[in-house]
Amino acid sequence: MADMIEDGTVIDGVHYHQHDIVIVGAGGAGMRAAIEAGPNARTAVVSKLYPTRSHTGAAQGGMAAALANVEEDNWEWHTYDTVKGGDYLVDQDAAEILAKEAIDAVLDLENMGLPFNRTADGKIDQRRFGGHTREHGAAPVRRACYAADRTGHMILQTLFQNCVKLGINFFNEYYVLDMVMAEVDGKKQPAGVVAYELATGDLHVFQAKAVIFATGGFGKIYKTTSNAHTLTGDGVGIIWRKGLPLEDMEFYQFHPTGLAGLGILLSEAARGEGAILRNASGERFMERYTPTLKDLAPRDIVARSMALEIREGRGAGPNKDYLYLDITHLEPAVIDEKLPDITEFARTYLGVEPYTEPVPVLPTAHYAMGGIPTNTNAEVLQSNTEIVPGLYAAGECACVSVHGSNRLGTNSLLDINVFGKRAGINASEYVKTAPWVPLPENPAKGIRDLLDQVRSGDGTERIAVIRKELQDSMDRNAQIFRTEESLKEVTELIETLRARYKNIQIQDKGKRYNTDLLEAIELGFLLDLAEVVVYSARSRHESRGGHMREDYPKRDDENFLVHTMAYLTGDPESAEAGEHIRLDWKPVVITNYPPMERKY
């Protein structure tokens, strides 16, 4: 096939497009990258959702930056908190970049028009958030810049408006299912992506010099999750199937305050404004676990403390299986001004009046610390040090690793802006001199065959049943507490589910908006990623951050102060569970903060 394809060409029913840069995903990271790339290169943003429906909009609490508008603060304290919060698995060069560039990242958004809450003298207001401190852990600090409790929603709207102003080319409701790679001078490089257009069922090939993945997380491997139904890890799964590594996949964050029984998130902003976690007897139990930061300790510590309270019989409700978030002591005016969304969630979904009643809460699967490994330029790695030319990733799908084994609240909205920006800048520089990578013959054939196979399947298995069994087992066996026995159980189940997945049948055989078909494809990604999470967790014989092994309860810096790098080495459909996965290790970058005991 020719190196250059005229935009709009249709060959054998496949539509071809050509752009210098293709960004996969239109959430915060993808659109922040587009704002940098768009004015400098022909850029397309390809998204399975309309951009303002992306999951960035669900982020509530704030975006960290040491502006010192309300209290004394500086970026070095922010760096320290990020490193310590990540239980010293954070690459400290990345954390320094995050903290230093946070200030400009907030000011960029303000200049784009984001309506932050303000202090009385007109500055951007800031509030407390878990794990953020002054003077290297001395006391909590107000570092989170916020727009009520809908900060992510405001960021998403602001970025989208600025993309529209710049004339960014969006392909909305185009589901990217594959990345086309070709070998150039002995190195594999991306040549473009293959996408399924939801409205027509047509396939589209987007040829590009550079590809940026910004596809978000994969929380739907769990049953109880704050993640939307669409967060199935497609981008991470595509990278995995291309034989590229995934980093630190065993580390998954469970946010302390999901609505009990539902997982819908109640922001940490509530505790930042003074909300208190209580057990069935009304005790403020976090004082026993973290006397200094109390309810504003890092999320992994709070979630584990909550799970222990329930395990030891101090839970509330008929089954003693949840705890309470109490904001009844706050002024209603403060609640209405700063926490309008989460209070409405409590009323709508649980029928609880937060002015007068504590809200039932339970930890919920929230955020992947691991993902596609990148360096600080957002370039994707194919080994510990070697990059894939022209391939970038940013946001939750990426692992830079700025969050280590536990992300601090408000660092995710910061991450998408700092490293989304870096991805856009570096990709636009790269394409100035990079040659076009030729597409192989019939680049959409693999995906067309996969779709036809799923559509024509006449098996007896149902997608929803297999997905539910996976999610239930992940909740039971690979959530806050893990053991070799529990992880082995879910590993064996995944092997069984893979066999059953070959025998699926979907009800909708059509092409237009065939969500039945797409959920079948998504389930394949979920099975892949759940297996990598569990396999990586089985191999890390220690407890660190979001990974708590009850059979290895202590942190082991001597053997495991390293990043996990997982590689696909065979066909998961034909191999025994785990035999197609190879693990390697990558050193943690340490600059100013050697590992210490983690006290709060």
pLDDT at residue number 575: 55
Give per-residue pLDDT as tens, 78-94. Answer: 999 999 999 999 999 99
Residue 170 buriedness (CB in 10 A; 0-12 / 13-18 / 19+): buried
* 563/561 Cα distance (integer angstroms): 7
SS (H, E, C) 78-126: HHHHHHHHCCCCCCHHHHHHHHHHHHHHHHHHHHHCCCCCECCCCCECE
User: Chain-centre distance of CA 55, in angstroms?
Assistant: 9
The pLDDT profile of the chain, 600 residues, written as one tens digit per residue, is 445 677 778 888 899 999 999 999 999 999 999 999 999 999 999 999 999 999 999 898 899 999 999 999 999 999 999 999 999 999 999 999 999 999 999 999 999 999 999 999 999 999 999 999 999 999 999 999 999 999 999 999 999 999 999 999 999 999 999 999 998 888 889 999 999 999 999 999 999 999 999 999 999 999 999 999 999 999 999 999 999 999 999 999 999 999 999 999 998 989 999 999 999 999 999 999 999 999 999 999 999 999 999 999 999 999 999 999 999 999 999 899 999 988 899 999 999 999 999 999 999 999 999 999 999 999 999 999 999 999 999 999 999 999 999 999 999 999 999 999 999 999 999 999 999 999 999 999 999 999 999 999 999 999 999 999 999 999 999 999 999 999 999 999 999 999 999 999 999 999 899 999 999 999 999 999 999 999 999 999 999 999 999 999 999 999 999 999 999 997 766 556 567 999 999 999 999 999 999 988
Geometric angle at alpha carbon 27, from 394 and 54, rounded to 5°: 140
Q: Which two tokens stand for residue 276?
A: 């208190």
Tell me whether residue 407 is annotated as binding.
yes
pLDDT at residue number 10: 86
pLDDT at residue number 402: 98
Supply the DSSP symbol for 460.
S
Which of 423, 414, 429 has the alpha carbon at shortest distance from 379? 423
Q: How far is CA 435 from CA 18, 154, 209, 389, 390, in A?
A: 13, 38, 7, 11, 10
H helix or E strand, kind and range, residue 414 = helix 411-433
299 is catalytic: yes
* 557/582 Cα distance (integer angstroms): 22
Provide CB contacts within 8 A for 435, sequence distance 6+.
184, 209
pLDDT at residue number 1: 45
Residue type, 497: L
What domains are there in the chain, each with its CATH number? Answer: 256-364 (3.90.700.10), 444-555 (1.20.58.100)
Tell me whether residue 25 is annotated as binding.
yes
Q: Which two tokens stand for residue 145?
A: 């810049």
Q: Which two tokens stand for residue 274?
A: 């003074």
Residue 242 contacts residue 329 (beta carbons within 8 Å): no
Paired sense of beta strands 481-482 and 548-549, if any: parallel
Tell me whether residue 54 is annotated as binding.
yes
Tell me whether residue 30 is annotated as binding.
yes
User: Could you please report the per-residue DSSP string of 35-50?
Assistant: HHHTTTS-EEEEESS-
Residue type, 504: I
pLDDT at residue number 3: 57
Give per-residue pLDDT as tens, 176-199. Answer: 999 999 988 888 899 999 999 999
Which of 208, 251, 244 has the alpha carbon at shortest distance from 85? 251
Tell me whether residue 59 is annotated as binding.
yes
Provide CB contacts within 8 A for 499, sequence distance 6+.
none
pLDDT at residue number 186: 81
The reported pTM is 0.96
Supply the DSSP symbol for 221.
G
Catalytic residue among 32, 128, 143, 299: 299
Tell me whether residue 55 is annotated as binding.
yes
pLDDT at residue number 185: 82
pLDDT at residue number 41: 97
